[in-house]
Chain A
Amino acid sequence: MSSRHVNTAEATQTDATARSETELAELTRARKRVSPRSVLRTLRHHPLGLAGGLLLVLVVGFCLLGPLLYRTNQADVDLLNAALPPGPGHPLGTDPNGFDVLGRLMEGGKVSLQIGLLAALFATTIGTVYGAVAGLAGGILDGFLMRVVDILLSVPFLFFVLILSARFHANAVSLSLVIGGFSWLVSARLVRGEVLTLRVREFVLAARVMGASRRRLILTHLIPNALGVIIVNITFQVADAVLAVAALGFLGFGLTYPTADWGSQLASGATYISADRWWLIYPVGGCIVLTVLALNLLADALRDAVGRRAD
């Protein structure tokens, strides 16, 4: 290199390093990264996802705030006003027990959403820890843990629930545990896959070089970085769990009277299908479809925001 190169170099270096201290910070460039704000930004450019989000807010508002504004008696049977078609006082009519259908929808929705959310959280927590352990351990332990998942996945869900319901009385918590107990398998596989790619990333190697324990690797590096995928998965799982509750309720394995969920409401309506009592079927069916649709649209948009495939 030239002598002047070097001479100017030395002069430059001293006064430039001083300047660079402050300027270095300003000259940094923005890079794409998943943050709550970037997720919101992506949602804004994703009309379907936005629609899903708004719809979900409406559904949740309907189920949780609705009963406060629209008070109905959902405790006492009123056979005098049984099976009334929609009309004044009962916008969606009443069911064969005389309960107001609109009020019953709100009650049932609350229970369904609660079970869905609880089941999804339960499933994701177990699945995440299980998958992370399997993915990080590798080798024989990983093989064993994942074969267990394969075996459990081959057990038919309804068959299993049928046996359980014959022995136990279902309530909201036990039902969500059962549903969650079946759906953690999918998140375990998902998180394991994510961990397999994360664990060879250099920041995990760097932590290993520092002497980090497995526990630390999982809690501070692997799970936080898999969080985007996990959140997307939770959303899908809530939708699945809502459907599962409905299916169980419809088949009569769900919650028992007087607690109501959308599935059992639909089942009782279905017996009157030939009696042309449409208000017992369509409103509750519509609620299930809309809730699941809203969750799926939102999850799709979140997945785009996270930028990775999650199913």
Chain B
Amino acid sequence: MFDKPDERHLGFVSQYRRVAKEMESGTVRTSDGFENAREPADGGRVLTIRDLSVEIRRGDRVVHPVSGVNLALDRGQTLGIVGETGSGKSMTGLAIMGMLPAGGRVTGGSIDFRGTELAGLPAARYRAIRGNDIAMVFQDSMTALNPTRRIGEQVAEPVRLHHRASKRAARTRAAELLALVGIPRPAERMDDYPHQLSGGMRQRVMIAMALVCEPQVVIADEPTTALDVSIQAEILDLLDELRSRLGMSMILVTHDMGVIARHADQVAVMYAGRVAETGPTPALFGHTRHRYTHALLASIPSLTHDRREKLFSIPGAPPDLAVPHAGCPFAPRCAAATDLCREGRPTLSEEEGGHTHACWHPVSGPTVRAHQTPATAPPPTASPVLLPERQTTPRLRVVDLRREYPVGGRGLLGGRRTVKAVSGVSFEVAAGETFGLVGESGCGKSSLGRMLVALDRPTSGEVIFDGAPVTRMSSRELGPRRAQMQMMFQDSNASLDPRMRIGAILREPMAIQGIGRRAERTARARELLRDVGLPLSVLERYPHELSGGQRQRVGLARALALDPKVLVADEPVSALDVSIRSQVLNLMQRVQRERELSSVVISHDLAVVRYLADRVGVMYLGKLVETGTTEEVYGATAHPYTAGLLAAVPEADPGAPLPRAGTRVRGELPSPIDPPSGCRFRTRCALATEVCAAAEPALTTVAGTHQVACHHPLRSGAGQPVELTAR
């Protein structure tokens, strides 16, 4: 969810101020009906960035987040800027908007917007352009909208400021825009406050706000990172459609190669504040030149990646941008690096079609996409992961687990209202097996994970570990048992005590359980560090001195310190950058196999679960809707929800076939306080009929261990695919 940990600290105030700043009044255009105010389209270049450099001064530290960036944006096109945390992609966007954070300034180069030089433009003239000619869509709509004002007013504000429109005209315009971005009954919703809308709807409001003055350039900074995959697809399609309908140009800033592949015309790959490679999307993906782009693409776990192959991973972490470095910034992590790379900064070489790259040793020839198993292929006969023989008693058994959280207020009949987070989930995990739980946010997968390790007690149902019901134990009985059930957390920044050294963190589990003496514990900590591939020098460091990937390795090492039999990993890699993510994924897979661990991997990322898990359960609104081996669920999908989720995952391949219309999951997640009757998915399902509302489908076997809870499964009992649009 949070791919950019640093930006979470911005919080409401600064993001909101940014939007407000964007809308500060401009006095240049006196409008006589703002639709006519725009000059006719002249085609060609809209925005040209030449040799742009930015520095940010914070106390004594000077960081250079952008150095020597060249970019060009044509009319009606989408330029995708892709990179990891700290690559300078967001700063480039903010520099164009003239909204660099405090202490930041453009130190060199030019930003040419249709003949106007934006670098060093006086504040008053910038205000006239900002929000009017160039607008921005922010990542987090919760913090970027003012919570105390109605959304109608907020959408109308730019028109009032830039075009001096009357209150009524601005309101009409706002209603038009809200309709345009697909908000149902805009006239009524205009008087809603941001918190009354769902995340997807708020993001639509943000887009309406950006488009209300009909800007020529829209900068979308991670517009869908905070959203679920099914909603992400809708929002990106909406942005695409609006761009072509309104004839705007768009800069799409994202960390997600899949999003870029599907939605950008031109791509710029940034690394350490520089453009590594840029070119038209098909050329860049089809003839990848730069070693970094190449390695990055190889390290993304995809839905077609052969699970027998170890995932490629880039060693190390991106460089510190406060320290000047000679040569290619990627050289310390590059396999093909030579002395030339470490000493000389690579020059930009251009190929036909505007494909440029800055690499001394580029990859040659077209990029071959091999090792792909088509998504619909039957499961391979020899399972890549050795499934242990079914034991008589599985190591972990979950029986009809339910958890309801009381919420404030009472229902109509005076009963206490509850959020049904988990509503009757059963599954088993054998020794040495990895069970993956997938689902969108709010489906109850994290609540389930917490109950598995007894951090929370269920309302009813049981978690049985090695034949003993964990859920009924007193905390005294539980104490020593805990050693065998450990958890790996999502945010390694939050899960390691900032005041303890790594050595103390790794010794803590043993200290709590009273295992060994101090010297023995230290020896064990060293051993653990070796296991997860960290140098011993880390022992004396504090968590904040490590990179995200290193911290997540420490998190795994700590979870393994007590030699647990069950490991629950809640979103283990979702806070990490792509190049770091594959390091941790490979490590987790190795550890799972070596230690005969029974693990439960919880993630919203279908590709991550596919890579790690032997068996998969798909959760929707507190229920398991489909379960089976990974091959069964991903290869022979039976539930429409699973199919919809899979269709919404953007593949990092512009040539990948677009999903058929109708497979997408529509609309928003219903409230878990009053889940829909019958099948909980029916409100968003293309195949729903009356029976779906009347009766709740039970998990029935499709084939082998493959079970689905659906009245109209995509695959019948014989395993034959059923045509999706038949009904």
Stretch at the interface among B108-116, B176-184, B364-372, B691-699: B364-372
B298–A9 contact, CB under 8 A?
yes
Q: Is B673 an interface residue (CB 8 A)?
A: no
Closest to B454 in A: A209
Distance from A27 Cβ to chain B, minimum over Cβ atoms (Å): 5
Contacts A12-B335, A210-B508, A210-B513 hold; do A20 and B316 have CB atoms under 8 A apart? yes
Inside 8 A of B59's CB, which chain A residues have their CB?
A: 41, 45
Distance from B435 Cβ to chain A, minimum over Cβ atoms (Å): 18
Distance from B22 Cβ to chain A, minimum over Cβ atoms (Å): 27
Query: Which of A25, A29, A32, A206 interacts with B535 by CB under 8 Å?
Result: A25
Query: Which of A5, A9, A202, A211 interacts with B489 by CB under 8 Å?
Result: A202
A6–B309 contact, CB under 8 A?
yes
B490–A202 contact, CB under 8 A?
yes
Which A35-49 residues sit within 8 Å CB-CB of chain B?
41, 45
Distance from B465 Cβ to chain A, minimum over Cβ atoms (Å): 13
Inside 8 A of B320's CB, which chain A residues have their CB?
A: 27, 29-30
B370–A209 contact, CB under 8 A?
no
Closest to B561 in A: A210
Considering the chains assembled together, what is the distance between the CA atoms of A206 and B488 in angstroms? 8
A24–B513 contact, CB under 8 A?
no
Considering the chains assembled together, what is the distance between the CA atoms of A292 and B312 in angstroms? 62
Which A1-28 residues sit within 8 Å CB-CB of chain B?
1-6, 8-13, 15-17, 19-25, 27-28
Inside 8 A of B535's CB, which chain A residues have their CB?
A: 21-22, 24-25
Closest to A17 in B: B315
Contacts A33-B498, A203-B497 hold; do A209 and B485 have CB atoms under 8 A apart? yes
B489–A205 contact, CB under 8 A?
yes
The digit string for A195-217, where 1 denotes a CB below 8 A from any CB of B, is: 00000011101111111110010
Q: Is A73 an interface residue (CB 8 A)?
A: no
A24–B317 contact, CB under 8 A?
yes
Distance from B557 Cβ to chain A, minimum over Cβ atoms (Å): 12
Considering the chains assembled together, what is the distance between the CA atoms of A224 and B508 in angstroms? 15
Considering the chains assembled together, what is the distance between the CA atoms of A207 and B505 in angstroms? 10
A5–B297 contact, CB under 8 A?
yes
B298–A207 contact, CB under 8 A?
no
Closest to A206 in B: B495
Q: Is A97 an interface residue (CB 8 A)?
A: no
Inside 8 A of B333's CB, which chain A residues have their CB?
A: 16, 20, 23
Query: Which of B455, B496, B546 interacts with A203 by CB under 8 Å?
Result: B496
Contacts A1-B371, A13-B313, A45-B59 hold; do A212 and B491 have CB atoms under 8 A apart? no
Distance from A284 Cβ to chain B, minimum over Cβ atoms (Å): 41
Closest to B313 in A: A13
Query: Which of A6, A22, A208 interacts with B312 by CB under 8 Å?
Result: A6
Closest to B570 in A: A202
A1–B478 contact, CB under 8 A?
no
Considering the chains assembled together, what is the distance between the CA atoms of A213 and B513 in angstroms? 10
The digit string for B367-411, where 1 denotes a CB below 8 A from any CB of A, is: 111110000000000000000000000000000000000000000
Considering the chains assembled together, what is the distance between the CA atoms of A41 and B538 in angstroms? 25
A24–B335 contact, CB under 8 A?
no
Considering the chains assembled together, what is the distance between the CA atoms of A164 and B153 in angstroms? 61
Inside 8 A of A227's CB, which chain B residues have their CB?
A: 499
Q: Is B12 an interface residue (CB 8 A)?
A: no
Inside 8 A of A277's CB, which chain B residues have their CB?
A: none
Distance from B562 Cβ to chain A, minimum over Cβ atoms (Å): 7
Inside 8 A of A33's CB, which chain B residues have their CB?
A: 498, 542, 544
Q: Is A271 an interface residue (CB 8 A)?
A: no
Q: Is B467 an interface residue (CB 8 A)?
A: no
Q: Is A167 an interface residue (CB 8 A)?
A: no
Considering the chains assembled together, what is the distance between the CA atoms of A213 and B478 in angstroms? 11
B317–A27 contact, CB under 8 A?
yes
Does more than half of chain A's interface fall in helix, strand or loop, or is it mixed? Answer: helix
A207–B318 contact, CB under 8 A?
no
Inside 8 A of A31's CB, which chain B residues have their CB?
A: 544-545
Q: Is B534 an interface residue (CB 8 A)?
A: yes
B537–A208 contact, CB under 8 A?
no
Distance from A36 Cβ to chain B, minimum over Cβ atoms (Å): 12
B482–A28 contact, CB under 8 A?
no
Q: Is A90 an interface residue (CB 8 A)?
A: no
Distance from B516 Cβ to chain A, minimum over Cβ atoms (Å): 15
The digit string for A268-297, where 1 denotes a CB below 8 A from any CB of B, is: 000000000000000000000000000000
Considering the chains assembled together, what is the distance between the CA atoms of A203 and B298 in angstroms? 33
Closest to A27 in B: B317
Inside 8 A of B295's CB, which chain A residues have their CB?
A: 12
Inside 8 A of B499's CB, which chain A residues have their CB?
A: 224-225, 227
Closest to B483 in A: A211
Query: Which of B302, B494, B546 interacts with A28 by CB under 8 Å?
Result: B546
Inside 8 A of A4's CB, which chain B residues have their CB?
A: 363, 367-368
User: Between A and B, how many residue pairs show CB distances below 8 Å?
Assistant: 167
Considering the chains assembled together, what is the distance between the CA atoms of A25 and B537 in angstroms? 8
B298–A1 contact, CB under 8 A?
yes
Considering the chains assembled together, what is the distance between the CA atoms of A21 and B480 in angstroms? 35
Considering the chains assembled together, what is the distance between the CA atoms of A224 and B490 in angstroms? 23
B368–A28 contact, CB under 8 A?
no
Closest to B509 in A: A210
A19–B512 contact, CB under 8 A?
no
Query: Which of B316, B542, B544, B558 interacts with A206 by CB under 8 Å?
Result: B558
A29–B547 contact, CB under 8 A?
yes
Query: Which of B302, B313, B482 interacts with A211 by CB under 8 Å?
Result: B482
Considering the chains assembled together, what is the distance between the CA atoms of A16 and B371 in angstroms? 23
Q: Is B294 an interface residue (CB 8 A)?
A: yes
Inside 8 A of B558's CB, which chain A residues have their CB?
A: 206
Contacts A27-B316, A202-B490 hold; do A225 and B498 have CB atoms under 8 A apart? yes
Distance from B534 Cβ to chain A, minimum over Cβ atoms (Å): 7
Closest to B537 in A: A25
The digit string for B265-282, where 1 denotes a CB below 8 A from any CB of A, is: 000000000000000000
Which B286-312 residues sit within 8 Å CB-CB of chain A?
294-295, 297-298, 302, 305, 309-310, 312
B369–A27 contact, CB under 8 A?
no
A11–B316 contact, CB under 8 A?
no
A202–B298 contact, CB under 8 A?
no
Distance from A196 Cβ to chain B, minimum over Cβ atoms (Å): 16
Q: Is B453 an interface residue (CB 8 A)?
A: yes
B490–A24 contact, CB under 8 A?
no
Inside 8 A of B297's CB, which chain A residues have their CB?
A: 1, 5
A15–B547 contact, CB under 8 A?
no
Considering the chains assembled together, what is the distance between the CA atoms of A22 and B550 in angstroms? 13
Query: Which of A1, A202, A206, A209 interacts with B369 by CB under 8 Å?
Result: A1
Inside 8 A of B544's CB, which chain A residues have their CB?
A: 30-33
Distance from A199 Cβ to chain B, minimum over Cβ atoms (Å): 12
Considering the chains assembled together, what is the distance between the CA atoms of A31 and B61 in angstroms? 12
Q: Is B486 an interface residue (CB 8 A)?
A: yes
Closest to A224 in B: B499
Q: Is B469 an interface residue (CB 8 A)?
A: no
B497–A221 contact, CB under 8 A?
yes
Q: Is B479 an interface residue (CB 8 A)?
A: yes
Q: Is B649 an interface residue (CB 8 A)?
A: no
B residues near A, CB below 8 A?
59, 61, 86, 294-295, 297-298, 302, 305, 309-310, 312-320, 322, 332-333, 335-336, 363, 367-371, 453, 455, 478-483, 485-487, 489-491, 494-500, 508-509, 512-513, 533-535, 537-538, 542, 544-547, 550, 555, 558, 562
13 additional contacts (CB under 8 A) given A3-B371, A22-B535, A24-B535: A1-B297, A2-B370, A3-B370, A5-B294, A5-B297, A19-B316, A25-B538, A202-B495, A203-B498, A205-B487, A210-B509, A224-B497, A225-B499
Q: List 23 A-B contacts (CB under 8 A).
A: A1-B298, A1-B369, A2-B368, A6-B312, A9-B310, A9-B313, A11-B335, A16-B315, A17-B315, A21-B535, A23-B316, A27-B317, A28-B546, A28-B547, A29-B317, A202-B494, A206-B496, A207-B508, A209-B485, A212-B508, A212-B512, A220-B500, A225-B498
A residues near B, CB below 8 A?
1-6, 8-13, 15-17, 19-25, 27-33, 41, 45, 201-203, 205-213, 216, 220-221, 224-225, 227
Closest 7 A/B residue pairs (Cβ)? A12-B335, A20-B315, A9-B312, A202-B495, A5-B298, A211-B482, A16-B315
